[in-house]
Amino acid sequence: MSPKTQERLLYLISPIGLIALWQVLLMAGVGDRRFVPAPSDIAWRYWEMVASGELAKHTVVTLWRVFAGFFLGSIPGIAVGLLMAMFRPVRIFFDPLIASLFPIPKIALMPLLLLAFGFGDASKIALVVTAVFFPVVVNTYVGAANIEKIYWDVAKNYGASQWVVFRRIVFFGALPMIFAGLRISLAVSFIVLVAAEFVATKAGIGYLIWNSWELLQVDIMFVGIVTVGILGLIATVILQEIERKVIPWKAE
């Protein structure tokens, strides 16, 4: 066996081993299967919910909220981050806002957002926007502010205008860090959204998890949790693929 294959196997052993142990213990009668379902029970329930279309219904709602919030939060985040790096007054203006608003747990804003945007999708999307905005701003700013000095020198010596510097140098120079920010934000958007869906909504994976808890359908709860993990994984892989396409100069 080559070292590479060994590593891959090792990579799989821990999750598979954990699931197997879990299954074996429950089958051996350790624990109450009504409260702690076995992996096989969850898989069975998962399959049922996929077949009935119920899981798809909740998934679509959650995905729509995540992606709407992700785009609406990250695009202004990128713009503000770049402007902060380019113009000192913009940085001075935004710095205290970011320093004070970033640490606030965004889920604490939920009641406020319900008040402002009502019980529909808008309040959930707004929550994701607030959660996504800050990591993207900070990463974009750091990326743009740390562009090597020589690129500014080249731009100046070759007669680049502010606009050219912004569009062709600061943006691209910051792009690797922008993507780092987007990756964090993507995970954060799932985290806050699922929590937000615990209240004041009748759809979404978060609702599914919370509702099944109240009805003590623990297997459905696990289906919801597993689904969030899978969605997060797929979304991250897609984002990484986009990153590879958009940043071809990043050496492998």
Kindly determine how many residues on this chain lie close enough to bind other proteins according to the rule CB under 8 A. Answer: 21
Helix axes 121-145, 171-196, angle to 10 degrees: 150
Among 7, 150, 202, 214, binds other proteins (CB under 8 A): 150
5 in contact with other proteins (CB under 8 A): no
**Binding pattern for the stretch 158-177 against other proteins, x by CB under 8 A and - elsewhere:** xxxx--x---xx--xx-x--
- Minimum Å distance from CB 160 to other proteins? 4
Whichever of 8 and 168 has its CB closer to other proteins, that residue is 168
Which of 133, 134, 132, 146 has the alpha carbon at shortest distance from 175? 146
154 in contact with other proteins (CB under 8 A): yes
- Minimum Å distance from CB 232 to other proteins? 29
| Positions in 100-139 near other proteins (CB under 8 A) | none
247 in contact with other proteins (CB under 8 A): yes
- Minimum Å distance from CB 187 to other proteins? 26
Q: Is 74 exposed, middle or buried (0-12, 13-18, 19+ CB in 10 A)?
A: buried
Which of 110, 101, 111, 108 has the alpha carbon at shortest distance from 134? 101
| Positions in 166-225 near other proteins (CB under 8 A) | 168-169, 172-173, 175
Whichever of 35 and 249 has its CB closer to other proteins, that residue is 249
Q: Given the rule CB under 8 A, which of 39-47, 67-75, 88-96, 154-162 is the region that contacts other proteins?
A: 154-162
Whichever of 71 and 151 has its CB closer to other proteins, that residue is 151
Q: Which two tokens stand for residue 131?
A: 């959660």
Would you list the DSSP string of 130-163?
A: HHHHHHHHHHHHHHHHTS-HHHHHHHHHTT--HH
Residue 150: CB atoms within 10 A of its CB come to 8
- 213, 197 in Cβ contact below 8 A? no
Which of 45, 9, 197 has the alpha carbon at shortest distance from 107? 197
Give contact residues for other proteins (rule: CB under 8 A). Answer: 150-151, 153-161, 164, 168-169, 172-173, 175, 247-249, 251
